[in-house]
Amino acid sequence: MKKILSLLLVAVMLLALCGTALAADTVSYSLLPMSNAVYEPYIYQGLVGLLKIQDMADVKIDWQLVLGSRDEQPALYLAMLASGNYPDVIQAQHNNMYAGGVSQLYNDGIIIELNDVIDKYMPNYKALLEAHPEVAKTLKDDQGRYLYFTVINPLSTPDEKVAATWYGLQGRKDWMENVGIEEMPTTIDGWYEMLVAFRDLDPNGNGEQDEIPFDGGQAGYTYFLPAFDILSGAYIDPDTGKVGFGEYTQNYKEYLETMNKWYSEGLVKDIWTEEGGLAGADAKDANIIADLAGSWMGLSNYWEQRLPQLKEKNPDADYIAFPWVEDAQGRVFACDYNISYGDRFTTVITVDCKNVEAAARLIDAMYTEEGTNCTTWGILDGDPILTGRDDTAWTKGNGTYTVDENGVKHETEWANLMTEDFYDGTGAFANKYRYAMSHVSFPRWGAGDYLASTREQHYVDSAKLWGEGSNALEYPAAIVLSVDAQKAAAPQVDEINSYISEMTQKFIKGEEPLTNFDNYMDQLQKMGIEDLIAAYQAAYDGFMAR
């Protein structure tokens, strides 16, 4: 009798467990990853952080990956939408791959509005929006609708800004020492003095005057625009608060006069190719590695990606990050990072979603502190996910990060070993674990501590330095003025941009005298640039009124 009761008890327990397992809702999740690494097809269903989020939300993800090269993905994405059969959730660069972006997806009846969904099913996300109205403002459209979810970076601490300010002015620390420059230049005059010294005093020590004081490749010369209180294209005038267009200002003439002087004196080179196009990163990098370039536009990872190659030629070489250049009033503005609280990857819920509550529950879990840790760091050491699923076997019971006595997170030895074992062959992207956990843009809040804790110290220090510049000049990245909207305001918008590029090159190279600058301005006016500025202003006014 006791044996029968025991068997019955076991059966009841098994049924209960099965019931729990079967109770989990399933959400089909379509993902267009950032690259087509060989591990993409199987990685996501095995990531412990994402498994834990599914347990938190009691939702199982049915992964539907859209895999292809960067060139192939837009067509694959559009084919998926053209089929008329949508997964419950789609995560992709919608604004880049769909004409009109997320707003047009809604207008075309592909995705749903999220306001009621947030109110009913997403308490964690709703609380974040209520606590950060400045963030909520950028995520709405002009009608007050929420249409997507994204990575949200509060941008309130230096560590958080590291994720957004990862390029700026950079150069050779050893060259400065070789020519006797003890302090970093912070003004246009200071830069001029340093560049002249780089040109004349043989800082690379080869006995030849072959130095490129500032390599302007990859549009690096535009990084001096903030010193003249403008940015390229639409920007916000820091004195009037109105929208302007950098290349359609008298400030631009002052900038061109400086660049023309530097160019004519051999202080800035390699801005353009022999064919007349802008020189790219390849040409600039070649000059850096050849011990020819003294300064340039650089990324925070150049200490890791470029300096080792240069040291093969010159073991004494070293880099330094320069602060943004002061304007005439001593103000320091940053170049246009397109800084936004959001990310270019956005996540939407489609009209075909069979269980909106489950989809919302899953995404809401990602925005919790624990969920953000899961999509960024993984799982704590000593706290593996013991769900019984075979997919967790690749952790071998190890966590992916620990937290020290100061509250700072660190990757575990196991995670670092995974980093060494799973590079994609180029070294440009990180491995299976690190790539998936920190570079794939699942909805989350913050997580700026990841870069600050895991990247090389020069990376962190340079990004923090560049993050000190004010972004007051920047036209809000949350405003998407479509190509159609631009052409409606100024039908010749393509011709305007081409004309600006052509004349900028001629002015800097001296092929067109700057005494003709007023003629240039008159031509832009005739082409409709003021109507284009008015369209940007109207969009900005609508954004500010949200």
Q: What is the pTM of this model?
A: 0.80
**Using one digit for the tens of pLDDT, what is the confidence trace for 380-418?**
765 443 333 344 444 556 677 888 898 888 877 666 655
Q: What end-to-end distance do the CA atoms of the chain give, in Å?
A: 72
Burial class (CB in 10 A: 0-12, 13-18, 19+), 317: buried
Q: Specify if 512 maps to a domain.
A: yes
Q: Which pLDDT score, from 0 to 100, does residue 373 have?
A: 87
Is residue 186 located within the same domain as residue 317? yes
**Using one digit for the tens of pLDDT, what is the confidence trace for 480-502?**
777 778 888 889 999 999 999 99
Per-residue exposure over 480-508, b if at least 16 CB sit within 10 Å of its own CB, e if not: ebeeebbeebbebbeebeebbeebbbbbb
**Using one digit for the tens of pLDDT, what is the confidence trace for 520-545?**
999 999 999 999 999 999 999 988 98
Q: Number of structural domains, the chain?
A: 2
Q: Which pLDDT score, from 0 to 100, does residue 340 have?
A: 67
**Using one digit for the tens of pLDDT, what is the confidence trace for 290-324?**
999 999 999 999 999 999 999 999 999 999 999 99
Is residue 182 located within the same domain as residue 260? yes
Of 294, 288, 293, nearest to 309 by C-alpha is 288
Two structure tokens written together for 221:
């010369």
Q: What is the CATH number of the domain that holds 56?
A: 3.40.190.10
Decide: helix, strand or coil at residue 326.
strand
Is residue 193 located within the same domain as residue 332? yes
Residue pointed to by tokens 């397109």 = 338
Is residue 503 located within the same domain as residue 363? no
**Using one digit for the tens of pLDDT, what is the confidence trace for 88-103?**
999 998 988 998 889 9
Is residue 81 located within the same domain as residue 143? yes
Q: Which pLDDT score, from 0 to 100, does residue 43 have?
A: 63
Domain that holds residue 269: 167-336+479-544
Could you give the CA distance from residue 409 to residue 438 in angstroms, rounded to a whole number?
14
CA torsion through residues 37, 40, 44, 48, sign: negative
Residue where a domain stops, chosen among 446, 462, 492:
446
Is residue 234 located within the same domain as residue 174? yes
Under 8 Å between Cβ of 234 and 475: yes
**Using one digit for the tens of pLDDT, what is the confidence trace for 251-280?**
999 999 999 999 999 999 999 998 889 999
Q: Specify if 110 maps to a domain.
A: yes
Q: Specify if 209 maps to a domain.
A: yes
372 vs 67: which has the higher pLDDT: 372
Is residue 195 located within the same domain as residue 272? yes
Q: Which pLDDT score, from 0 to 100, does residue 165 have?
A: 85
